[in-house]
């Protein structure tokens, strides 16, 4: 495994970090608690020391599963990353979208990061995770109803109390990141990034490189699309949000699979899967500190971790990027 220091902090993360969105079941068509615990433990056994979760992932379930999975692991051997500011249990803040929980009950998701809410959420996360501190505490999405400075002041308080080690943001543009950093040192920005989604290269990556901020890339496999295992006519479990995303239209699956066929020889040269090739490509991109990769069982978690065993040459990276430049998806 590769370990990288996050920004100008002393926090060192595994370059492949376990993304625990899927194990919460929410928007993934449910979950299996024991398989999820085993997945996290298998990842740790193969060098993945960092775990990223959030309260909203299963409305507390993901954090509880993470807590169960790490119960017997020395706390100082792990880095726990969680979030705040995406609430399902209040109508305060900015309404983001309607949803359903794992039991099919209606939810209304709000972006809310007022100071008192951040403090409350941190306490609840600590209880679910079964720990007394969080290594990286991240606002999940910008809250347009709360001044950024107010949210960041809550993080100052939590850091002074020893409840969090470092403050971070998710889904912030370069301007928002700069503003947040005026109140507290922000060590990273967690943003979507994959071979198929590279818009952060325009402003976010240059800002983070120039200012020594880490980038945590989530959905590097584009929720399974870049594994080569999806086919047109794909079936999705009820509640799986991919069914309504343009990335997973039959035509885009065909085009993506054609691209993957073109780069398959590179994966074969490394005796790697397409998923492993994609993960390694991600963590070799400029400015990317780590890739967050989810797994539903221990086999997937083990294969993800082994992506760290390969290194792509400059020629291989150029070949992949040339094929990407020729790939056009219909996202309208």
Catalytic residue ranges: 57
Q: Is 233 helix (H, G, I), strand (E, B) or coil?
A: coil
DSSP state of 82: E
User: How many CA atoms within 13 Å lie on the side-chain side of 80?
Assistant: 29
Q: Give every CB contact of residue 124 below 8 A, 6+ residues apart in sequence.
A: 55, 60
Structure token digits, residue 156 = 């100052």
Residue 61: other Cβ atoms inside 10 A: 23
Q: What is the DSSP secondary-structure string of 87-123?
A: ESS---SEEEEEEE-TTS-EEEEEE---HHHHHHHHH
Q: Which residues of 274-299 are buried (b: 16+ CB within 10 A; e: fewer)?
A: bbbbbbbbbbbbebbbbbbbbbbebe
Length of the chain measured in residues: 332
């Amino acid at each position: 495994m590769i370990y990288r220091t996050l920004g100008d902090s002393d926090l060192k993360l595994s370059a492949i970090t376990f993304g625990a969105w899927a194990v919460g079941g929410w928007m993934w068509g449910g979950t299996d608690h024991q398989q999820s615990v085993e997945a996290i433990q298998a990842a740790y056994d193969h060098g993945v020391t960092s775990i990223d979760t959030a309260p909203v992932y299963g409305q507390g379930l993901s954090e509880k599963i993470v807590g169960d999975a790490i119960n017997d692991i020395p706390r100082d051997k792990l880095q726990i990353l969680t979030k705040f500011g995406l609430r399902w249990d209040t109508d305060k803040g900015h309404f983001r979208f309607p949803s359903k929980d794992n039991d099919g009950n209606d939810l209304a998701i709000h972006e809310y990061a007022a100071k008192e809410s951040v403090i409350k959420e941190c306490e609840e996360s600590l209880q679910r995770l079964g720990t007394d501190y969080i290594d990286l505490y991240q606002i999940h999405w910008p809250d347009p109803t709360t001044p950024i400075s107010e949210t960041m002041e809550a993080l100052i308080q939590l850091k002074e109390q020893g409840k969090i080690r470092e403050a971070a943001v998710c889904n912030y543009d370069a301007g928002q990141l700069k503003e947040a950093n005026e109140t507290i040192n922000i060590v990273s920005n967690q943003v979507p990034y994959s071979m198929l989604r590279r818009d952060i290269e325009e402003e976010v990556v240059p800002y983070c490189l120039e200012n020594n901020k880490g980038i945590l890339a989530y959905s590097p496999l584009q929720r399974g699309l870049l594994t080569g295992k999806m086919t047109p006519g794909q079936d999705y479990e009820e509640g799986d949000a991919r069914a309504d995303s343009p990335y997973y239209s039959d035509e885009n699956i065909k085009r993506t699979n054609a691209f993957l066929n073109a780069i398959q020889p590179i994966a074969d040269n490394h005796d790697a899967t397409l998923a492993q090739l994609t993960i390694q490509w991600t963590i070799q991109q400029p400015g990317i500190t780590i890739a967050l990769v989810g797994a539903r069982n221990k086999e997937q978690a083990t294969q993800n971790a082994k992506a760290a065993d390969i290194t792509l040459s400059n020629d291989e990276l150029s070949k992949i990027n040339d094929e990407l430049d020729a790939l056009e998806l219909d996202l309208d």
